[in-house]
Amino acid sequence: MSAADAPWRLSIAELVPLIRDGALSPVDLLDAYLERIGALDGALHSFVHLNAHARAAAEAAQAEIAAGRWRGPLHGVPIGVKDNHLTADMPTTAGAPGEAFPLRDATAVARLRAAGAVLIGKTRMHQFAWGMETPPTANPRDLSRVPGGSSGGSGAAVAAGLCAAALGSDTGGSIRIPASLCGCVGLKPTFGLIGRGGIVPHSWSLDHAGPLAASVADAALLTEAMAGPDPDDPGCAGLAAPGLAAAAAPGASVAGLRVGVCHRHFFEGLTPAVERAADAALAALVAAGARIVEFDAPELSVGLGAIFAIELASSTAWHDRRLREGRVAGFEPDVRLLVEMGRLVSGADYLQAERYRRRLGEVFAARFADVDVVAGPTLPLTAWRMGERSVDIGGRSESVLAVSWRLTYPWNLLGLPALSLPCGVDGDGLPIGFQIAGPAFGEAAVLRAGAALEAALGGPMARG
């Protein structure tokens, strides 16, 4: 099947020369995605809204490109937008029908428009960015399984080839979890690299904005486009991120790269399939020239309680008026329980959690003096069945809420960049994710390692 017959199979990096040189028009590309959405999304439920203005944007991009006004690698490329990012031409509900947020562009959305991207629609999310399932969205690899959350619609849409890439947000793993379960790439950049102005808050000090994409190179392209100053986000670092696309370009070398491995936390309680795939990924990095550096971080043993306290308190504070006024009828039961649980977090609890966060930051600052990146599995398991509330791993029953973000949350607490990319499948053909994290603003090393591993494993996971 040729690219012209199925352009949705191609990564953005592969689409760029076709669009730039006129071999593929943005309108035809949009139509290919819309046709696929029409055929598949009735079962997947990955989109909550399709953009009525997408065709006009694609036509405008086509005219600009024909006139020689090329804006760059995202020009004319259809991108999905998670439903907690404000958009000027589409409603935003944050997964809660009946909520009305302003019609304006979030900073990340505005940057994508400026880069020439075509916003194809809003992707479904777990309500108010809580949860790990995103009902009723299905996993495109197995419709009986969850896509992960809270950016489950974005993960499902990208993996199924319903858009070239999509925006997500990540508070404890909400970009990397769907990427791992659905079989695509997800990047949580350094805290403040991508401004969060115009994104409905979940936890002010833990929220990160970032992309889900078909390949490591595509994630780099989107991150580079969205990074920069944001007057609406006081936590924004105000830094551009040139060079990320180059770091993830074909032929990325990891010769001499020091890859930190912490078995105590990141390799405990894994399913056998995940453990085998993660070990094979590490071996592939070593074969490509990287060097494994073992280290220990016993402080991680109590981290889940710390991030949960911070997240609960932050979310409850943001929803305080709704709670006091009794405006909770539209909350899903699981979300209402979590939001109200935040009232049980005392001031002392919150401060102790923040003290722990600072201590963990000191620990990993010392570790990153000796290693360039830290690597291991993204999740201990693959996608679980819809409706399951607990899973059995090695004879031990665990809550899916706890197990699904056990390996991702440390990088949110620390605000450090972390990438998830597919590294294999289990016996049921379900994707397994591999996570690579780095020091603050160390995205280039993270992406370089990810691109090299992706190439060593045979390239990006096929979509569809």
319 by Cβ neighbours in 10 Å (0-12 / 13-18 / 19+) ranks as buried
Task: Give CA 17 to chain center in angstroms.
Answer: 26
Question: Is residue 409 scored above 70 in pLDDT?
Answer: yes
Give the residue numbers marked as catalytic.
82, 150, 174
217 by Cβ neighbours in 10 Å (0-12 / 13-18 / 19+) ranks as buried
Place of tokens 């932050």: 314
How high is the pLDDT of residue 115? 98
Q: Positive or negative CA dihedral for 274, 277, 280, 284? A: negative
Question: Is residue 329 scored above 90 in pLDDT?
Answer: no
Strand-pair category, 185-188 with 258-261? unpaired
Q: In terms of Cα–Cα distance, which of 55, 119, 130, 69 is closest to 96? A: 130
As a whole number of angstroms, the distance between CA 272 and CA 452 comes to 24
Contacting residues for 14 by C-beta, under 8 A, at least 6 apart:
3
Strand-pair category, 78-82 with 118-123? parallel
How high is the pLDDT of residue 124? 98
* pLDDT, tens digit (0-9, with 9 covering 90-100), for 28-52: 999 999 999 999 999 999 999 999 9
As a whole number of angstroms, the distance between CA 41 and CA 54 comes to 17
Q: What is the mean pLDDT of the chain?
A: 96
How high is the pLDDT of residue 1? 37
Residue 2 — pLDDT band, cuts 50, 70, 90?
A: low
Higher pLDDT, 336 or 416: 416
Q: What is the mean pLDDT of residues 188-198?
A: 98
Q: What angle do CA 426, 432, 437 make, to 5 degrees?
A: 155
Task: Give CA 112 to chain center in angstroms.
Answer: 16
Q: Which CATH class is domain 258-456?
A: alpha beta
CATH superfamily of 7-247: Amidase signature (AS) domain (3.90.1300.10)
Residue 134 — pLDDT band, cuts 50, 70, 90?
A: very high
Using alpha carbons, list the distances in angstroms from residue 193 to 145, 219, 316: 33, 14, 25
Question: Is residue 440 scored above 70 in pLDDT?
Answer: yes
SS3 219: helix
Q: In the chain, which segments carry CATH 3.90.1300.10?
A: 7-247, 258-456
Q: In terms of Cα–Cα distance, which of 152, 167, 190 is closest to 446? A: 190
CA-based radius of gyration for the chain? 20
Q: What angle do CA 440, 355, 261 make, to 5 degrees?
A: 45
Q: In terms of Cα–Cα distance, which of 459, 404, 431 is closest to 160? A: 431
How high is the pLDDT of residue 450? 98
Q: Is the pTM of this model over 0.95?
A: yes
199 by Cβ neighbours in 10 Å (0-12 / 13-18 / 19+) ranks as buried
Q: Positive or negative CA dihedral for 422, 423, 424, 426? A: negative
As a whole number of angstroms, the distance between CA 104 and CA 135 comes to 26
Place of tokens 């940057």: 111
Q: Is cis: bond before 136, omega within 30 of 0?
A: yes
